[in-house]
Amino acid sequence: MKALFKSGPHPGFELVDRPEPEPGHADVKTRVLTTGICGTDLHIQSWDAWARGAITTPLVPGHEFYGEVVAVGADVRDVRPGDRVSGEGHIVCGACRNCRAGRRQMCSRTVSMGVQRDGAFAEYVVLPETNVWVHHDPGITPELGAIFDPFGNAVHTALSFPMVGEDVLITGAGPIGLMAVAVARHAGARRIAITDVSPARLDLAVKMGADLAVDASHSRLAQAQHELRMAEGFDVGLEMSGRATALREMIDNMTHGGRIALLGLPSEPITVDWSKVVTHMLTLKGIYGREMFETWYAMSAMLSSSPVLHAAVAGVVPDVLPAAEWERGFGIARGGLGGKVVLDWSHI
């Protein structure tokens, strides 16, 4: 099969021939049709400090995918050849305290597809049946199916706290932040403000349902509150950027008792005014990945029941490129000026 491959501990990928993976007794083998390019993949390609500490080569990267099941192991019960599927890329042990208590997203022994084991930037990928998500909704296109993983991040973050009637601040208008706008609007938020430094992404955020898009390079959130006619600070904050300045300004503009969900991974330590967190009685909650599998059920139900949300999330994918043009796709994704980039593996 053709696959993007990192042959050793160095920058870059190669599009090469690799052996097809074969399913074990509890596994599902999928013919990959589309894959999304994630920030994690950019780290692995550039071989930065995070990648050097997290990755063992050789490796086929990629963890966001949609495809068609072609084979299943002898013990697979519910997934069948011909099913159209995406996959939960976090493979858990099933035996630790959190797994046994139904908190699988908190497994301390998680192995990530495309990070610690071969992933989906290839014509075929193998996952345990327990990680396969079958799409029963015919409205899920290959492009939309490929971004269920990051859409799940947006849903998990946005639904961490009640949204109905709340004023919501989102910092970071990347693809996940953009999808979080649509989810917050669907979930009943009153006003939604979002910050970024990319005019193109801020324009897209307004189309996704944001009431106010703030260019953080020259505008402040206090002025945003004034423009939105807010009497107090924001009720719910969704921090998607990983930027120290974004988190600090978010904390400064939350109402007393405000709640913040943090998804963005900082690249350096962040100094926080903890006295304000204490005196304003703020709640900060870390988010990693998706809840297994409540988030998957929630996002499937929302997409199938809301044409508006379906159209908004699908609109996050402006670029679909042949997998053979993966270098151009990674360049677009690294530029950080638009939505999600998806690679098409169906005709490689």
Token digits of residue 71 = 């084979």
Check: CB of residue 115 under 8 Å from CB of residue 55: yes
Q: Return d(Cα 238, Cα 153) in angstroms, integer.
A: 11
Under DSSP, is residue 286 helix (H, G, I), strand (E, B) or coil? strand
Token digits of residue 237 = 């904050």
Q: Count other Cβ atoms within 10 Å, centred on residue 46.
A: 13
Alpha carbon distances (Å) from 227 to 38, 189, 201, 250: 34, 17, 20, 16
Helices marked H in 209-325 — which ranges?
Answer: 221-227, 244-252, 274-279, 294-305, 307-314
Find tokens 């304003």 and name the residue: 280
Token digits of residue 336 = 């950080």
Alpha carbon distances (Å) from 144 to 37, 65, 262, 312: 13, 9, 24, 11
Catalytic site positions: 40, 43
